[in-house]
Chain A
Amino acid sequence: MAADKARKETIGAVRRSFAPWTDPTKTPLIRFENVVKRFGDFTAVDHVSLDIYEREFFALLGPSGCGKTTLMRMLAGFEEPSEGRLTLAGEDLAGVPPYRRPVNMMFQSYALFPHMNVQDNIAFGLKQDKMSKGEIDARVEEMLKLVKLEKFAKRKPHQLSGGQRQRVALARSLAKRPKVLLLDEPLGALDKKLREETQFELMDLQMDLGMTFLIVTHDQEEAMTVADRIAVMNQGVLVQVAPPSVIYEQPATRYVADFIGEVNLIEGTITTAGHDETHISSPVTRFPLVVAQGVDCKAGDKACIAIRPEKLRIALEPPADQTENLFEGEIWDIGYLGDLSIYHVELACGQRIKVSQPNLSRMVARPISWDDKVWVTFAPHAGVVLT
């Protein structure tokens, strides 16, 4: 128990203070410099510049076809950039074949060798390095223990379950202790519960081994859970690179706001652009809207407020003494999720907004119901202005 507590404290300390991207004296481990990749007429990766630091757990997030896998495959050496430079620990990777790169990849399909048993699969990379037999055996044993597959060493991949195969693939890619581990949709084939467990295991593993992990995923929850920083990609372009909380709370564009989680977008016109406050008037409500955020715009410019459903408050009566950030509407639909209820509120202009409220009490005197007239409010620091 004491050891557990000590461990938790160290992890907490490391996680809290880990932000090498804010430190200008740190040199990044991986640098993409203006990297372009074209397949015929199609540009898969469009002038991407990205720095990834040692010991970082970095996620590339985006819809399928956004170029995230291509970016990763360039690092592994399966694709060469059409333009730009890619360096790893200061070394230019141009022309270095995959089998000479100090990175290992865990494939989406796992790509386990079907004719070799678990042990031989894990030992495969070590044998390429001309390690002695004793060293190989020791390392394989260590890896089997790490992924809790000691009993399955002699099994062939087709005799394992999906989750076990995933563990073999992970052990095989970790066995060589690469500088960087690439994970291509590593948990895609697992069911939800196993996936969530594995996410936390991956984080612990990355912490313990002190490696740099680069994960490609289209699952935003997965990226938010595991990563120190997330790069959101769309159509070959990096849209935003930031820690998960910044991506969620301060999305840079409408695309990011919309792609990550649920969001209400309220279109309007700026009436006053203050230093740390923006006033907006919107056709969807007769009340003025205020957001505690300064923007580089002037009065009269079009803007949009992005507010997450959980940051809106809903009530049957209009709040006393509030004349800002207020919407009047009617309940159009209710989704009851147990822990939360999602209210779809139709405003007078016809736009629907989503409000989610935790169900704090088992009994409510007068629950909000279909066709009720409701009032929706938000605090000035709850929304983000996007221009």
Chain B
Amino acid sequence: MAMAGEKGRGRWFVIAVPYLWLLALFLAPFLIVFKISLSQDVVAQPPYAPILDLSQGWAGFTEFLSGLSFANYGYVLDFSNEFLEAYGSSLVIASISTVLLLLAGYPIAYAMARAPRSIQPTLLMLVILPFWTSFLIRVYAWIGILSQEGLLNQGLRALGIIDQPLEILNTNLAVYIGIVYSYLPFMVLPLYAALEKLDLTLLEAAADLGCPPAKAFWTITFPLSLPGVAAGALLCFIPAVGEFVIPDLLGGSDTLMIGKSLWTEFTVNRSWTVSSAVAVLLLLVLVIPIVIYQNIQQRELEAGK
């Protein structure tokens, strides 16, 4: 019994560590942000009210509760304030980017998984290598490549392909290039993991049963790599929706993304409360698809049993 007790305690401890971590570093900050989103802007320090004052006892608490309202959400969800448009545009840009990432990442991951075993670690290393340099510096480097007098335009002009410089920087195209470039490893790695696991005798079996290689790809390889596709798409889509650096540095004034709107609300309009409401809504927009995805997976697992 003593043994079982100790074992039980050890297990609780192991389980508790990640929960405590999430509680302290995720749930607590979220509750603070959520509370701020229900407050009103004031010219004070901190710049929002009400503030919970426990020295007043119960009266202080009820006064605090009555001071909270969902007014900021009404403001954010008002069509005339461009936030909804920014959410929509962020989702569109993130979706298109995810599709582009899939188109670029799948062939890379496939080639890696089919490469000789001995060189696969090297290829994996090359995919991860860009992380050795700061993300910000790598995005800045694209300015040097895409600008009017940048490397790309110079190169194309030297080759005589164009005579007028292409306008790429400060357009949505530059944002797509930036996102696809920056997020590619997050797409390639889960795809590689899924494709590398694939049993090649399945393809031999398909060929044996009269299925040519191209068709075997769509009937065998691709369906079996779907978990990798889903993981890669989520890993890219979620951060892309909230992306701020890439649209700020590479996008134009008409590039509308929610991360940028939030930044403007916080630094230019100095409204902590509205930017908090934007952040909470963004979280909801991102959490709902994940929950749906997990529900589907759970149902498939149960159906499999």
Contact = CB atoms under 8 A, between A and B. Distances in A.
Interface of A: 76-78, 97-100, 103-105, 107, 109, 111-115, 124-125, 128-129, 156, 158-159, 172-173, 176
The size bracket of the interface on B is 10 to 19
Given A111-B201, A156-B304, A159-B304, A99 B208 contact: yes
A98 B204 contact: yes
A113 B205 contact: yes
B209 A107 contact: no
B199 A111 contact: yes
A99 B220 CA distance: 15
Contact of A104 (B201, B208, B212, B220): B208
Given A113-B220, A115-B223, A115-B224, A99 B199 contact: no
Interface string B210-241: 11100100011001100000000000000000
A124 B304 contact: no
Nearest to B200: A111
A128 B220 contact: no
A109 B206 contact: no
Interface in B266-305: 304
Contacts, number: 62
B207 interface: yes
Contact of A124 (B199, B201, B211, B212): B211
Contact of A176 (B207, B210, B212): B210
24 contacts: A76-B204, A77-B207, A97-B207, A98-B208, A99-B206, A99-B208, A99-B210, A103-B208, A105-B205, A107-B201, A107-B205, A109-B201, A111-B199, A111-B201, A112-B205, A113-B220, A114-B224, A115-B223, A124-B211, A124-B219, A128-B211, A158-B304, A173-B208, A176-B209
Nearest 4 A/B pairs, CB to CB? A125-B209, A128-B210, A111-B205, A98-B207
Contacts of B199: 109, 111
Nearest to A105: B208
Contacts of B224: 114-115
B245 to A, nearest CB: 39
A113 B208 CA distance: 13
B264 to A, nearest CB: 47
Nearest to B303: A156
Nearest to A78: B204
Nearest to B304: A156
B52 interface: no
Contacts of A76: 204, 208
Contact of A129 (B201, B204, B207, B210): B210
A98 B215 CA distance: 14
B206, B209, B210 — which one has the most chain A CB atoms within 10 A of its CB? B209
B99 interface: no
A99 B207 contact: yes
Given A113-B220, A156-B304, A107 B207 contact: no
B202 interface: yes
Contacts of B212: 97, 99
Contacts of B209: 99, 104, 124-125, 128, 172, 176
Contacts of A112: 205
A113 to B, nearest CB: 6
Contacts of A99: 206-212
B196 to A, nearest CB: 16
Given A107-B201, A111-B201, 19 more contacts: A76-B204, A76-B208, A77-B208, A97-B207, A97-B212, A98-B204, A99-B206, A103-B208, A104-B209, A109-B199, A111-B199, A111-B204, A113-B220, A114-B224, A124-B206, A124-B209, A124-B211, A128-B210, A129-B210
A104 B219 CA distance: 19
A129 B215 CA distance: 13
Nearest to A115: B223
A169 to B, nearest CB: 9
A172 B219 CA distance: 16
Contacts of B215: 128
A176 B205 CA distance: 13
Contacts of A158: 304
A387 to B, nearest CB: 43
Nearest to B208: A105
A131 to B, nearest CB: 11
B21 to A, nearest CB: 35
Contacts of A159: 304
B210 to A, nearest CB: 4
A128 B199 CA distance: 21
Contacts of B205: 105, 107, 111-113
Contacts of A98: 204, 207-208
A76, A107, A111, A112 — which one has the most chain B CB atoms within 10 A of its CB? A111
Contacts of A77: 207-208
A189 B233 CA distance: 39
Nearest to B211: A128
A113 B206 CA distance: 9
B207, B211, B219 — which one has the most chain A CB atoms within 10 A of its CB? B207
A296 B208 CA distance: 47
Contacts of A100: 210
A291 to B, nearest CB: 48
A78, A97, A128, A172 — which one has the most chain B CB atoms within 10 A of its CB? A128
Nearest to A109: B201
